[in-house]
Amino acid sequence: MTVESGGAITAALNQSVGDLREQPAGLIQLLTPEGERVDHPDYPLDLSAEDIRGMYRDLVLVRRIDTEAIALQRQGELGIWASLLGQEAAQIGSGRALGPDDMAFPTYREHGVAWCRGIDPVKLLELYRGVSHGGWDPAEHKFHLYTIVIGAQTLHATGYAMGIQRDGAVGGDGKASEAVIVYFGDGATSQGDVNEAFVWASVFNAPVVFFCQNNQWAISEPLEKQTRIPLYQRARGFGFPGLRVDGNDVLASYAVTKKAMQAAREGQGPTLIEAYTYRMGAHTTTDDPTRYRLASELEVWKLKDPIERVRAYLARTGQAEPEFFAEVDAEAKQVGARVREACRTMPDPPPLDIFDHVYTGPQSILQAEREQYAAYLDSFEEAR
């Protein structure tokens, strides 16, 4: 049998996969792309005008940090950068919905959530510049280190949630309770680890929210290469609720996350949130999306920009004056300048740092290598 170069099997499949992008009747949206507030019976909004202005500020600042980081990579200051462009609302909305005791497990693209958890963006650049593998204190920020292997963190989050259960910190009886949120993308839903995490969370009823940012692309592979059903529907097969939210709507992303986290804290178990969004940039700075997707697709998504709709809403309803927007823009400029400067002046770690923190204490084999290499380096000093 010969296989046609066009791929008859794939062509037939592609025809049969039609509704992945069709929005379900229940798509949760509280702010339309045009900036119109719409109500949803299950998600009343508890945000003040000041809160929403705060979210607008977050959105603008994280986009500015992202723009700055891309430029720094182009200038050779960063090895690589994974842009969050287009996904700001999903990240800020969900990030702002977390309580101070909740724990978050990110991928390597959650710069917006990191911002909400109080991580200095310069710490994120350390990783992409190559001076550390992640320089923040996860316990202090309740924000785990970036995980690069796709989907691995979903199991860590689920185990952490099982720990919360064992600490007796789940329950709606008024005492302090905690839950976990874990981020991953559409591509990750194909990973065994993610599916195992769904099984574990379900059978142990773990207080964990699975927050999938479906940005439509896993590097060059479209959603059709990962699934034949809408992703949020996967949850049903595992025995917990799944829902799709407009991931470019910061208010809806906030509301659904807040509700799902509260349910988890109260002992109702996991939820899968599919935040339907779009990766407006490349996968990373080494990627070239022109090889695999049409520019027209991006143009369509630009009309659904996560920031523009909030600005339009705030301006139209008089909840923000022109001065406010000017202040945010000025602050963004300052943050950008600070990040740029901090990155350019970031020193390389001393070479013997290589040997630190492999084990708790000294380890004989490693210690010998360290001493040997230190002596080798010293021999150059002596030669001078």
| Site of interaction with other proteins (CB under 8 A) | 132-135, 137-139, 144-145, 147, 149, 152, 154-167, 192-193, 196-197, 199-200, 203, 356-360, 363-366
Give the shortest CB-201-to-other proteins separation in angstroms.
9
Name residues whose C-beta falls within 8 Å of residue 226's C-beta, 6 or more positions apart in sequence. Answer: 186, 187, 189, 190, 218
Give the nearest distance from C-beta 191 to other proteins in angstroms: 9
- Report in angstroms how near the CB of residue 267 gets to other proteins at its nearest: 14
Q: Which residue has the tokens 């896993």?
A: 218
**Which residue in 275, 277, 232 sits closest to 256, CA to CA?**
275
Closest separation in Å from C-beta 244 to other proteins = 26
d(CA 89, CA 322): 22
Q: Which of 244, 148, 241, 228 is nearest to 188 (CA)?
A: 148
Q: How many whole angstroms from its chain centre is CA 319?
A: 28
Which of 316-333 are b and which e, b meaning 16 or more Cβ less than 10 Å from the residue's Cβ?
eeeebeeebbeebeeebe
Active-site annotation holds for 156: no
111 counts as catalytic: no
Q: Which is nearer to other proteins, 317 or 372 (CB)?
A: 372
Q: Catalytic pick from 57, 96, 244, 283? A: 283
Q: CA 270 to CA 109: how far, in whole Å?
A: 23
Instruction: Give the residue with the Cβ less far from other proteins, 2 or 360.
Output: 360
Query: Residue 302 CB, nearest distance to other proteins (Å)?
Result: 36
- Give 246's strand partners: 276
Tell me whether residue 145 or residue 335 sits nearer to other proteins (CB atom): 145
Q: How far is the CB of 361 from other proteins (least distance, A)?
A: 8
Nearer to other proteins, 165 or 319 (CB): 165
Beta strands in 11-115, from DSSP E residues, in sequence order: 103-105
| Residue 365 vs 383, nearer CB to other proteins | 365
- Which residue is catalytic, options 279, 309, 311, 340? 279
Strand partners for 28: 245
Distance CA 219, CA 289 (A): 8
Q: How far apart, in whole angstroms, are the C-alpha atoms of residue 193 and residue 187?
A: 12
Distance CA 310, CA 55 (A): 9
Of 167 and 382, the one with the shorter C-beta distance to other proteins is 167
Q: Which of 373, 337, 209, 220 is nearest to 283 (CA)?
A: 220
So which residues are the catalytic ones?
279, 283, 292
